[in-house]
Amino acid sequence: MSKEKKDIPLWAKTGHARPVTRRDFLAAGLIPFAASALLPSWMSLFLASPEAQAQSALNCSSGNSAWIPFITLNLAGGAAMMSNYLPMNAAGAPIASYSKMGLGNKDVPIAREFGNVPFAGEMNGQLLSRFLDGVRATAAASLSNTAFMGLCVRSRDDSAENRFDVSGMAHVAGLAGSRLPNLGSNDSLSGFDQLPAVVAPPSPLVIRSFNDAANALGFSASLGTALTQPQREKVAKLVSSLNSSQARKLASFEGGDVLQNLVSCAGIKNEDLIRQGSAAVDPRQNAAIAQLWNINANTGANNRDLVFATMVYNAVSGQSGSANLQLGGFDYHDNSRNTGNTRDREAGLLVGRILETARLLNRPVFLYVTSDGAVSSAESETDRLAPWTSDRGSAGGSYILVYHPAGRIVTTHYQIGSFTDGQAADDKFVIGNNPELAAQAVFANYLQLNRRMDLFERIAGRGLDSKGLSEVIKIA
């Protein structure tokens, strides 16, 4: 009786004669990594790799997630978000004065966008909201399909400990990439300078260079640049040929759980990814996207526009999980308005490019914009360009923007929470003094957008009860 297929030795399955020789090892590209022992030595190349851990975190996603892409942009330092968007009181009217918010008295000129959302409007032919000016410059074609909501929430100034991050909850709900895990801008729990709300996400793949994304694909990441392209393809085929008993033996090694996932994910998928190479995750392969982000084949791998374009392109296309981007330089209370205006417009330009990327890819996107604290101006009832002088986290806020190719989604209101005549977020409102509850409000709207509110309590708990949810969910 012939041997069962599961017992066919590795040397036979890989086409070698028995015994496997040093020459055979060389042909597969495994020497000099494994001069004497086959599996433990060469498999350690996979197991020691951070990118292998990221690949394992995919849990073998085989296609685009059904969940709407989720991107968070953190404006690190305490941006004047509630002086670009114009917050209203609980009755939906302007507050008594915006004199500490750099906008003078209550008669601030208003520019309406995203339907009927109020922003600080024009003075002397220029928008006071430099954020909106930036968005309009890069996303003119996307605005009619974009909804906006402002969240009025206090937060700690100049702190990486505000619990604004939603990516962990989104991951538990089901958001996952087809090729890459969650993406982040720095090496932290969430991938940027905000703490996770409720549940921590899987360790994000940190993208500081385009190469970080390119090297995270399949086995190319684990073997780095040490092997040629044909050698990497041979390794992929070898791993995918392991039978169950061999995989169980390998699982006994340190990191074996990662290896089991890598082996089960191997097959045609990884071989195809290796053949395709970095083009699979390269936004420059799409001419319209490349033009939008001002990138080309000669753009340096560490160029910020290319890094952000890579994160956004892969998140919006469904190739990665959520993406957490960070812009620095928003601690701009330098007794002028110029620095703040420049940074606010820079944020708007980036937000616009994210929305426009979604339009060009014909995909929806849920975009969440955060900061740590806010700023205060020199107090003036007349100066609508008063200089920024200090931190003031009580005037903080966040934004939600949703682009949908089918048209602007229906919302019941553009504001969650309110500002008081003290020119601060109302701390009596359910999220007003609690970034983590504000993050839960964002998550609730994300679930509502995906028509999966049934998951909220299981994932987020009961921090927001039914009454609280009814007050914060604005997506119809």
Does residue 383 sit in the same domain as residue 454?
A: yes
Question: Does residue 106 form part of some domain?
Answer: yes
Same-domain pairing of 318 and 423: yes
Whether residue 168 lies inside any domain: the answer is yes
Range(s) of the domain holding residue 318: 70-214+278-472
The residues near 11 (Cβ < 8 Å, ≥ 6 apart) are 17, 18, 19, 20, 24
265 and 194 inside one domain: no
Instruction: Give the global pTM.
Output: 0.81
Q: Are residues 96 and 190 in the same domain?
A: yes
Same domain, 382 and 464: yes
Q: Within this chain, do residues 419 and 349 fall inside the same structural domain, yes or no?
A: yes
Do 53 and 77 share a domain, yes or no?
no
User: pLDDT tens string for the chain (476 positions)?
Assistant: 444 444 555 445 445 555 444 444 444 444 433 333 334 444 444 444 444 444 443 444 444 469 999 999 999 999 999 999 999 999 999 999 999 999 999 999 999 999 999 999 999 999 999 999 999 999 999 999 999 999 999 999 999 999 999 999 999 999 999 989 999 999 999 999 999 999 999 999 999 999 999 988 754 444 444 556 566 566 556 655 655 566 555 555 555 555 555 444 444 345 555 566 688 899 999 999 999 999 999 999 999 999 999 999 999 999 999 999 999 999 999 999 999 999 999 999 999 999 999 999 999 999 999 999 999 999 999 999 999 999 999 999 999 999 999 999 999 999 999 999 999 999 999 999 999 999 999 999 999 999 999 999 999 999 999 999 999 999 99
Residues 179 and 304 in one domain: yes
Q: Both 202 and 224 in a single domain? A: no
Q: Do 420 and 288 share a structural domain?
A: yes
Query: Does residue 2 sit within a domain?
Result: no
Number of structural domains found in the chain: 2
Same domain for 289 and 379, yes or no, is yes
Residues 336 and 461 in one domain: yes
